[in-house]
């Protein structure tokens, strides 16, 4: 491709959804930049990419409203619809976009970049080469895909239909990608997969083996990962979190519900008791370990009694934070046909109750940090005031006063002086 041809062209990317989508958008950003495009505002872009999420109905509808909005402010730009909605509903998106790119066809941006005046639909069932190392932006912290897809088919979830069957990248290509990142200044990696605990089952090694290998990489300071499915969350992994110095003390362990009847209908593969046993094992073995979760309220047939079980578990476990959602009916999933569905007003009431409880717990836990000292990896200037920010190993954001000799990428000890709703404030300990 002649780089000069693209030199005057500009792009804008809008991303919805989870970290996997953020990582995919980063790949697209880098592919376009390498081809000579420049990032710009939505108004002046020649090509606008919308990376969509399909996990809930509201998320899905955003891609259509966003395309409508773009057309009113920028009539000339080429529109690329990509991501999870594109993968399962490309026919509908084709009529309103110039290009449609599915989740397994990110590499087609190399073609799109060479000629944005063609139109095209790029949908593949499987990636041509899951080992391919896509480029990264420069940064202290980086997302690294270790696997793609999901084989679980929880009855509410559309992801297996938008991301395909599970496939793990080999440890050689993951390690190579991380080494390149570290050579470029990255200090922390977030390993991404829908269920990292089932990593590698066809490769002859597992997720813990991979963690041991990554932990050996010189220059890397921290390893994080998401998401851990509770069914496969093992004692072996808990012990590795204790023993490996770079692996941070934080686990995201989506509960979804604490009613065994609902868990069964969701096809989650664990009971409340099994979940709790693992949580208590983790809390005992991983010193100062934080825990976060995802919860769905108003799954079909959920009663007040089922919901109360979830509330009680949240009180008992005391999550550091949780992400909670009203159940949303998704096409292709089994739960959409389960009756009775829960009324919208009831879902909303339960969601508010749960979120109020979580806010209380988060604040209480943040207040308990006052006076304690945490190791913080500095990420850069904070949004407000003359402050720097970073995260502690437990994944809480910590803001602290600017100091001339502290740079992004440094690891500093910060003593907490103040607890805010979602973050901490502190001062550097010399």
**Binding residues vs ligand SAH (CB under 6 A):** 55-56, 156-157, 159, 194-195, 227, 229, 254, 256, 294, 296, 325, 327-328, 330
Interacting residues with ligand F3S (CB under 6 A): 17-18, 20-21, 53-55, 83-84, 159, 162-163
Q: Cα(first)–Cα(last) distance of the chain, in Å?
A: 52
Give pairs for 22-28: CB < 8 Å, separation 24+: 22/143, 23/143, 23/144, 23/145, 23/192, 24/51, 24/82, 24/83, 24/103, 24/106, 25/49, 25/51, 26/136, 26/137, 26/143, 27/106, 27/109, 27/134, 27/135, 28/82, 28/106, 28/109
CB burial of residue 317 (10 Å; 0-12, 13-18, 19+): buried
Work out which of 49, 70, 154, 237 binds ligand SF4, going by CB under 6 A. 154
Binding partner at 17 among ligand SAH, ligand SF4, ligand F3S, none, C-beta below 5 to 8 Å by kind: ligand F3S
Q: Which is nearer to ligand SAH, 9 or 159 (CB)?
A: 159
Binding partner at 160 among ligand F3S, ligand SF4, ligand SAH, none, C-beta below 5 to 8 Å by kind: ligand SF4
Binding partner at 327 among ligand F3S, ligand SAH, ligand SF4, none, C-beta below 5 to 8 Å by kind: ligand SAH
Q: Where are the beta strands (DSSP E) in 156-280?
A: 167-168, 188-192, 222-226, 250-252
| Residue 110 CB, nearest approach to ligand F3S (Å) | 22
Binding partner at 53 among ligand F3S, ligand SF4, ligand SAH, none, C-beta below 5 to 8 Å by kind: ligand F3S
Of 85, 209, 101, the C-alpha closest to 146 is 209
| Residue 301 CB, nearest approach to ligand F3S (Å) | 24
Dump the DSSP string for 80-114.
EEEEHHHHH-HHHHHTT-SEEE-TT-GGGHHHHHH
| Residue 296 CB, nearest approach to ligand SF4 (Å) | 9
* 196 in contact with ligand SF4 (CB under 6 A): no
What is the C-alpha separation between 187 and 247, in angstroms, rounded? 12
Give me the residue label for tokens 């809930």: 56
Q: Which is nearer to ligand SAH, 58 or 407 (CB)?
A: 58
Q: What angle do CA 233, 173, 106 make, to 5 degrees?
A: 90
Q: Which is nearer to ligand SF4, 6 or 324 (CB)?
A: 324
| Residue 293 CB, nearest approach to ligand SF4 (Å) | 12
What is the C-alpha separation between 121 and 61, in angstroms, rounded? 20
Binding partner at 84 among ligand SAH, ligand SF4, ligand F3S, none, C-beta below 5 to 8 Å by kind: ligand F3S
* 229 in contact with ligand SF4 (CB under 6 A): yes
Residues in contact with 130: Cβ distance below 8 Å, sequence separation at least 6, in sequence order: 148, 167, 169
Tell me the chain's radius of gyration from C-alpha atoms. 22
Query: HSE on the CB side for 100, CA within 13 Å?
Result: 19
Position closest to ligand F3S via CB: 17
Q: Site residues for ligand SF4, window 114-153 (CB under 6 A)?
A: 150, 152-153
| Residue 159 CB, nearest approach to ligand SF4 (Å) | 4
Work out which of 25, 81, 97, 194 binds ligand SF4, going by CB under 6 A. 194
| Residue 234 CB, nearest approach to ligand SF4 (Å) | 16
Work out which of 15, 89, 168, 195 binds ligand SF4, going by CB under 6 A. 195
| Residue 355 CB, nearest approach to ligand SAH (Å) | 14
Tell me, what DSSP letter sits at residue 334? G
Binding site for ligand SF4 (CB under 6 A): 150, 152-154, 157, 159-160, 194-195, 229
């Amino acid at each position: 491709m002649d780089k000069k041809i693209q030199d005057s062209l500009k792009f804008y990317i809008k991303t919805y959804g989870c970290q996997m989508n953020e990582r995919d958008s980063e790949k697209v950003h880098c592919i376009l930049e390498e081809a000579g495009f420049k990032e710009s505002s939505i108004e002046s872009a020649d090509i606008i990419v919308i990376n969509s999420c399909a996990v809930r109905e509201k998320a899905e509808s955003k891609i259509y409203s966003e395309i409508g909005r773009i057309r009113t402010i920028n009539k000339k730009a080429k529109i690329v619809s990509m991501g999870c909605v594109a993968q399962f509903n490309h026919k509908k998106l084709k009529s309103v976009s110039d290009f449609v790119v599915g989740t397994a066809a990110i590499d087609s941006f190399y073609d799109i970049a060479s000629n944005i005046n063609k139109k095209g639909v790029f949908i593949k069932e499987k990636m041509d080469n899951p080992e391919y190392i896509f480029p990264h932006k420069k940064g202290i912290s980086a997302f690294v895909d270790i696997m793609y897809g999901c084989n679980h088919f929880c009855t509410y979830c559309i992801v297996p239909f938008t991301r395909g069957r599970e496939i793990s990248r080999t440890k050689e290509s993951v390690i190579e990608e991380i080494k390149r990142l570290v050579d470029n200044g990255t200090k922390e990696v977030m390993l991404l997969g829908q269920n990292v605990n089932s990593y590698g089952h066809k490769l002859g090694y597992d997720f813990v083996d991979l963690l041991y290998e990554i932990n050996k990489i010189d220059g890397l300071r921290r390893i994080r990962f998401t998401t851990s499915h509770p069914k496969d969350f093992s004692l072996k992994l808990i012990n590795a979190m204790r023993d490996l110095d770079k692996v941070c003390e934080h686990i995201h362990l989506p509960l979804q519900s604490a009613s065994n009847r609902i868990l069964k209908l969701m096809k989650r593969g664990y009971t409340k008791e099994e979940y709790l046993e693992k949580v208590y094992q983790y809390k005992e073995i991983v010193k100062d370990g934080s825990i976060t979760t995802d919860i769905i309220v108003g799954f079909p047939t959920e009663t007040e009694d089922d919901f109360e079980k979830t509330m009680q578990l949240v009180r008992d476990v005391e999550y550091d934070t949780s992400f909670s959602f009203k159940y949303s009916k998704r096409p292709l999933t089994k739960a959409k046909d389960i009756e009775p569905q829960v009324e919208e007003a009831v879902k909303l009431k339960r969601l508010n109750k749960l979120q109020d409880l979580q806010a209380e717990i988060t604040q209480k836990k943040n207040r308990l940090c006052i006076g304690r000292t945490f190791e913080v990896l500095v990420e850069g200037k904070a949004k407000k005031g003359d402050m720097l920010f970073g995260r502690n190993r437990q994944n809480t954001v910590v803001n602290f006063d600017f100091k001339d000799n502290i740079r992004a990428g440094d690891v500093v000890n910060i003593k907490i002086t103040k607890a805010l709703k979602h973050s901490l404030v502190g001062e550097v300990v010399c």
